[in-house]
Amino acid sequence: MPPHGDQVSNHHDVVVIGAGPAGEAAAELGGNLGYSVALVERDIVGGTVVTSGGAPTKTFREAAVYFSSFEKEKVYGVALSAAPEVMYPAIRARARYVSERLRQITLERIRASGVHLVHGEARLEAGHTVVARTGSGAETRLHAGRVIIATGSSPLRPPGVPFDDPCVFDSETVTNIGRKPRELLIVGGGAIGVEYATIFSALGVPVTILDGAPRLAAMMDDEISGRLEQVFLARGNRVILGTGMISVHRDGDDLVTELGDGRQLRPDALLFAAGRTVSTAGLGLETADVGVDARGRIIVDSQRRTSCPWVFAAGDVIGPSLASVATDQGRQALCGALGLDFSVHVDQIPAAAVYGLPEVARVGKSEEDCAAEGIPYATGRCELGTTPRGVIAGQEGLLKLIFHGGTGVLLGVHVICEIASEIAGTGQAMIHNEATIEDVVRMVYNTPTYTYGYKLAAADTLARLHPDVLRAMRLPSQAHRI
Ligand SMILES: Cc1cc2nc3c(=O)[nH]c(=O)nc-3n(C[C@H](O)[C@H](O)[C@H](O)COP(=O)(O)OP(=O)(O)OC[C@H]3O[C@@H](n4cnc5c(N)ncnc54)[C@H](O)[C@@H]3O)c2cc1C
């Protein structure tokens, strides 16, 4: 049985620092298992998800689709879009409402699990101690059997970028944008950059994405990110790859931006979304001999234990990733900290999505991965715009499946479509259950759905590999090839 600590005194089995997804998950698991857990948060509970990450960005996305009647104009021939002076304040208000609602829900969950929530900025002290200091200078000393650091990350703010300019934003400030920019430059073509680029484009702003990488959303399958770029360009935007921003300064209404390739851009608004840095300043890691790598990320072992035997770490602070991943890392750190012998497994094949317009998502191996690892593979494709759901919605998209060339087991799923993040979930379950081409083909899916595309994409694979088998099974065949 868990050794119950005393909730009233400041002695706890575990003290967790940071109430984002990683810290919340760790604290709640400990509380629900009956341990005495204190959770120290300096800002609001919920972390980046609630303040400036997943919730605000996805709310902006929903609002952009609604206010701009995104892509429905050409389907129905009728424009329903709202005026910018109405849109921007309403989008901001909605994002604030969603954040506040999620904060409340998170707080209720924390309270329900019996966790002792402490407000303040935490730092480590010797002798298993965490000190939480409030803005007024009041300090609470917490003594912990184990400490879990889950302090997350924040946007990278390189010197030379004038973040004090009201028209220069990062992911923490862009949600306060109050007016429609004339032209927006986004530095960074990763998930955050692409999400905001497509959102502002839907709101009628000409957007340029600038990134030193050779392609957008480089974490996605080549073909899918190529399609994403085509869609973005077709909407009248610009993508500049393979070079970076050298400098930026204000000249009247313009932000004069010099690029590495000698070009000059003159947008009136700039979103810097190129990288994140871990939040460890002032934590006193050196006091407890907690080791970090060259980029300042806390180094942990497979149980999330740091170089200090009583300190564990999880979430973005060990390497910026995803809220979904951080949550399971938090639970794993709790188990490691308390020596619980049921192991919390952190999924080695997590799904990932970029919630742009359209969304792109992946889970498992890409063609490039298979080629690099020498794995024989076969692909199947379904053009989602030709499925009944796609025709009804007037939406294009691609579902691409990667099967093992020998065993026929599903290895990877790659999607571009309005709800790619949802569609990838079906494939993720199949990958984890080692479904074969035949399994995927034989399932009866709801229709009209985009998920029905799995049947068609698997049938496409069969058609490529064994056309005679497909005929014998009397299954639909489609020659959706790019
Ligand atoms: C714009 C954007 C969009 C995103 N979209 C998605 C998405 O769609 N899906 C997804 O899965 N992930 C998304 N992410 C990533 C996701 O937000 C992070 O991976 C996740 O929040 C990491 O969780 P965490 O608990 O490690 O850290 P955080 O969420 O950063 O939480 C850390 C907490 O620690 C607190 N803290 C820090 N230092 C101290 C201290 N010294 N004392 C006390 N408290 C402290 C902070 O106030 C914060 O509340 C997005 C991120 C951004 C920026």
The predicted-structure confidence for 83-102, as pLDDT tens digits, reads as follows: 888 888 999 999 999 999 99
Which of 64-73, 127-136, 433-442, 445-454 has the weakest average pLDDT? 64-73
Per-residue pLDDT band at 72 (split at 50, 70, 90) = confident
Nearest-CA residue for ligand 1 atom 51 is 53
How confident is the model over 299-325, as a mean pLDDT?
96
Q: Is the CB of 283 under 6 A from ligand 1?
A: yes
How remote is the CA of residue 477 from the centroid of ligand 1, in Å?
A: 44
Would you say the CB of residue 397 lies under 6 angstroms from ligand 1?
A: no
Residue 129: CB within 6 Å of ligand 1?
no
Confirm or reject: Cβ of 49 under 6 Å from ligand 1: yes
Instruction: Among 329-343, 368-382, 384-398, name the one with the lowest average pLDDT.
Output: 329-343
pLDDT of the residue at 479: 40
391 has pLDDT over 70: yes
Is 264 in contact with 256 (CB distance < 8 Å)? yes
Question: How high does pLDDT run on average in the chain?
Answer: 92
Tokens of 16: 């967790």
Whether residue 274 is predicted with pLDDT greater than 50 in this model: the reply is yes
Task: Read off the pLDDT of residues 194-231 as tens digits, 9 standing for 90 and up.
Answer: 999 999 999 999 999 999 999 999 999 999 999 999 99
> Residue 279: CB within 6 Å of ligand 1?
yes
Burial class (CB in 10 A: 0-12, 13-18, 19+), 346: middle
Whether the pLDDT of residue 131 is over 50: the answer is yes
448 CA to centre of ligand 1 in angstroms: 37
Q: Which of 48, 57, 154, 298 to mutate to test the pocket of ligand 1 (most atoms within 8 A of CB)?
A: 48
Instruction: Report percent pLDDT > 90 for the chain.
Output: 85
- Find where tokens 């494939």 sit: 427
Res 84: pLDDT: 82
Q: Does the beta carbon of 321 sit less than 6 angstroms from any atom of ligand 1?
A: yes
Tell me how far the alpha carbon of residue 186 lies from the centroid of ligand 1, in angstroms: 21
Residue 343's pLDDT band, with cuts at 50, 70 and 90, is low
CB of 423 sitting under 6 A from ligand 1 = no
Any atom of ligand 1 within 6 Å of the Cβ of 53? yes
pLDDT for the residue 408: 94
Instruction: Report the range of poorest mean pLDDT among 67-76, 124-133, 183-192.
Output: 67-76
Query: How many Cβ atoms sit within 10 Å of the Cβ of residue 126?
Result: 9
**Banded model confidence at residue 250, pLDDT cuts 50, 70, 90:** very high
Distance 470 CA to ligand 1 centre (A): 47
Q: Ligand 1 pocket test: pick from 151, 312, 357, 362 the residue with the most ligand atoms within 8 Å of its Cβ.
A: 151
Token couple for 254: 């313009």
Per-residue pLDDT, averaged over 2-24, amounts to 78
* Mutation pick for ligand 1 pocket among 300, 322, 362, 421 (CB with most ligand atoms within 8 Å): 322
Residue position matching structure tokens 């009804």: 392
Q: What residue owns the CA closest to ligand 1's atom 15?
A: 322
For the segment 270-281, the average pLDDT, to the nearest whole number, is 97
pLDDT at 481 over 70: no
* 277 CB near ligand 1 (under 6 Å): no
Q: Whose CA is nearest to atom 6 of ligand 1?
A: 54
Ligand 1 neighbour 172 (Cβ under 6 A): no
pLDDT at 74 over 90: no
Long-range contacts of 335-343, Cβ-Cβ distance < 8 Å, separation of 24 or more? 335/29, 335/303, 336/303, 336/304, 336/305, 336/312, 337/14, 337/26, 337/145, 337/146, 337/147, 337/148, 337/304, 337/305, 337/312, 338/2, 338/13, 338/14, 338/30, 338/33, 338/35, 338/146, 340/33
